[in-house]
């Protein structure tokens, strides 16, 4: 969607969940020396200012990363995620937030590769600037990531995390995500695919997890975080659906999610769902 700017929402509760899960998967891939690819279908700008520009319009980060920033009781997994954010804010003041491409770059090694798609021309230009430090192993395409994904599968090392997180501002994007994954699993059945989606009252949003469960995947994990009672706010939470997840991810989320749901709760309707199917 060419009108969409993730900068308005950078660092919100949805980003906290998405980027925590993303980092957990990449850390798991790093347990082996063999290279991996990171493919991001909706990469955005890569880095975001929280003290100026788009983020100041809604200040959603204050109920997301802002609630975690100065806490001294973070569970271990969340501490790792916070440390990545702190590298952008070395003076201790929270003024910048990393997008998923930048997080992937920090987790990557010399042998790993990043393949990033961003349809919006201005955003893809910002992305190129923000990813300069990883230029040697990063390829950026100013185009549709859902369409471009098939040309990259299977990746040469046969190890990859594919992150799919559209804005879902267009109703058809829900169906496009399902269709894209069905095709991707035929091309690269063993890849790890992480799909972010918003918790909304829209039927398309409510149906998506069940549609993803019906895909021909050997294993999946589904986690969702509600920060408010449905209907109290527009997007009352978000979910991550991970196909072929690391075997360690479910146990980590079982430790983290009760704490995270409490820390980010906006009312007594906050909570989480965690379910999985093994191979």
Q: Report how far apart the first and last C-alpha atoms of the chain are (Å, whole number).
A: 35
CB 75 within 8 A of CB 255: yes
96-98 and 192-199 beta bridge pairing? unpaired
* Ramachandran category for residue 141: left, alpha or beta (phi over 0 → left; psi -120 to 50 → alpha): beta
Q: How far apart are CA 119 and CA 42, in angstroms?
A: 7
242 phi and psi, to 5 degrees? -115, 120
Q: Which tokens go with 3? A: 């009108």
Cα–Cα distance, 194 to 42 (Å, whole number): 12
Peptide bond into 243 cis (omega under 30): no
The first and second tokens of residue 240, run together, are 């991550």
Active site residue 165: yes
- 40, 63, 112, 165: the active-site residue: 165
Residue 211: exposure state from Cβ atoms within 10 A (0-12, 13-18, ≥19) = middle
Cα-Cα-Cα-Cα torsion 80, 117, 49, 65, nearest 10 degrees, comes to -30
What angle, rounded to 10 degrees, do the helices at 76-86 and 249-264 form? Answer: 70
Give me the phi and psi of 243, to 5 degrees please: -90, 135
Active site residues: 165
């Amino acid at each position: 969607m060419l009108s969409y700017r993730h900068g308005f929402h950078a660092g919100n509760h949805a980003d906290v969940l998405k980027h925590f899960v993303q980092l957990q998967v990449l850390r798991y891939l790093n347990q082996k020396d063999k290279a991996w690819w990171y493919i991001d279908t909706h990469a955005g700008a890569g880095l975001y200012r929280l003290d100026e520009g788009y983020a100041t319009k809604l200040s959603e980060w204050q109920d997301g990363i802002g609630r975690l920033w100065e806490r001294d009781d973070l569970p271990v997994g969340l501490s790792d995620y916070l440390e990545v954010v702190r590298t952008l804010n070395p003076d201790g003041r929270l003024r910048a937030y990393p997008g998923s491409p930048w997080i992937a770059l920090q987790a990557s090694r010399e042998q790993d590769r990043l393949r990033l798609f961003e349809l919006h021309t201005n955003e893809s230009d910002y992305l190129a600037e923000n990813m300069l430090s990883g230029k040697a192993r990063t390829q950026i395409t100013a185009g549709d990531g859902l369409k471009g994904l098939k040309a990259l599968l299977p990746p040469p090392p046969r190890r990859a995390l594919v992150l799919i997180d559209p804005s879902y501002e267009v109703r058809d994007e829900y169906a496009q995500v399902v269709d894209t994954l069905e095709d991707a699993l035929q091309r690269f059945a063993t890849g790890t695919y992480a799909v972010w989606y918003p918790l909304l009252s829209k039927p398309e949003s409510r149906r998506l997890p069940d549609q993803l469960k019906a895909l021909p995947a050997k294993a999946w994990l589904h986690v969702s975080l509600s920060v408010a009672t449905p209907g109290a706010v527009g997007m009352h939470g978000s979910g991550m659906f991970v196909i072929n997840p690391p075997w360690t991810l479910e146990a980590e989320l079982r430790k983290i999610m009760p704490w995270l749901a409490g820390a980010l709760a906006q009312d007594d309707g906050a909570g989480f769902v965690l379910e999985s199917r093994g191979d």
